[in-house]
Amino acid sequence: MAETYTPPVYGTGVKATIQRIGGHLAGMIMPNIGAFIAWGLITALFIPTGWLPNATLAAMVDPIIKMLLPILIAYTGGRMVHGQRGAVVGAVAAMGVIVGSDIPMFLGAMIIGPLTALILKYVDKFTEDRTKSGFEMLVDNFTAGIVGAVMAIVGMWVIGPVVRVVTTAAGNAVEWLIVNNLLPIASVLIEPAKVLFLNNAVNHGVLGPLGVAESVKQGKSILFMLESNPGPGLGLLIAFLLFGPRPLRPSTPAAMIIHFFGGIHEIYFPYVLMKPRLILGVIAGGAAGVFTFMITGAGLVATPSPGSIFAYMAVTPKGGWLGVIAGIVVATAVSFAVSSLLLGFGRGEKEEPPEDTPEAAAEPPADRVEETGENARETQAQPVAKEA
């Protein structure tokens, strides 16, 4: 299932291993993005600071984020490992980490769902050839029930506390960056990781869970905007359109539409990989956007997925439009300026003189063709005259 949402990964190096892990993480999150969007819309509309405050409907916010979404993640992860049986035991085991914690257990669900399914997979292999005919359903049901129950207990007593410690440490690190006004430095790590197609792993595997925890407490989170800001990529593509290699310029308008309005950031990664120095442009744009978000107090109520301008506007809290738009505009402008400078403002991309192609060289001019045709007709007419 992960291959449906991320490009296939080949090789055995460190980069390939990280990409493969990121692909599995994205494979657990991406199929459930619709549920995240539903939660984001309900939150943006009905919480006390939302567009249409409604206490009755806002009561759905906590159960969805703390129970439904982790269960869906664990279910999907279990299904990736061992089909439907793995999905069921993964969801059961997820209840252990959910009940044993008071924060959204996305990371715990990502761990315990696939792990429980893997254990059941080995149990099924062990019992497959040892089960008497007629007892298959009984054995299958009881093995799944036992594995699910045991792993729920393990999740509550072991995995949940470990994930809480890790989440708390990561949250403290992010808080330290925010308090010391150093959060823009995160772009130095995030933007290169994105270009290596680790964007889903960074956003949904790391920043998303931390952002959800912060959003539950404060009603919004800047962490949702660190990786998903479409501004740096848009600025890079505009620079390519104006100053990039001439053969590539016609492709950039479509890439800009797909990136900014469609939210498919992967469309601009090859442009950076073709000219690696341009990574400095998107890093500068990302850092400038994050700085703007910080000073304007901007934040989103949920992960904008895909990272398009429409998704951003859909999960922007009431009264937060100015800061969000300002961060995107500043990121675009800075990325464009730095990328244009790195491209030399097109000075190295002069108009190439037209070259004679083999086809053009082989074709004689039009008047020559007409002349040749007349000569051919005269040549054909001469034998006829001699015969006469």
Q: What is the pLDDT of residues 256-266, one digit of tens each?
A: 988 898 887 87
Please give the model's pTM, rounded to 2 decimal places.
0.63
Report how far apart, in Å, the C-alpha atoms of 7 and of each of 83, 156, 374 are.
Answer: 21, 34, 61
Question: What's the pLDDT at 11?
Answer: 63
Per the DSSP assignment, residues forming a β-bridge with 68 are none
Does position 355 have pLDDT exceeding 50, yes or no? no
Cα(62)–Cα(64) distance, integer angstroms: 5
Q: Residue 188 is inside which H or E element, if any?
A: helix 187-193
Q: How confident is the model at residue 351 (pLDDT cuts 50, 70, 90)?
A: low
Residue type, position 294, single letter: M
- Residues 71-88 have a mean pLDDT of 96
Paired residues of 221 in beta bridges: 300
Closest among 358, 210, 343, 206 to 271, alpha carbons compared: 343
* Contact between 346 and 242 (Cβ < 8 Å): yes
Model confidence over 134-168: pLDDT tens digits? Answer: 899 999 999 999 999 999 999 999 999 998 887 77
Closest Cα to residue 48, out of 322, 317, 314, 323? 317
Lowest mean pLDDT of 10-19, 149-158, 289-298, name the range: 10-19
Q: DSSP letters along 29-44, please? A: HGGGHHHHHHHHHHHH
Statement: residue 245 has pLDDT above 80: yes
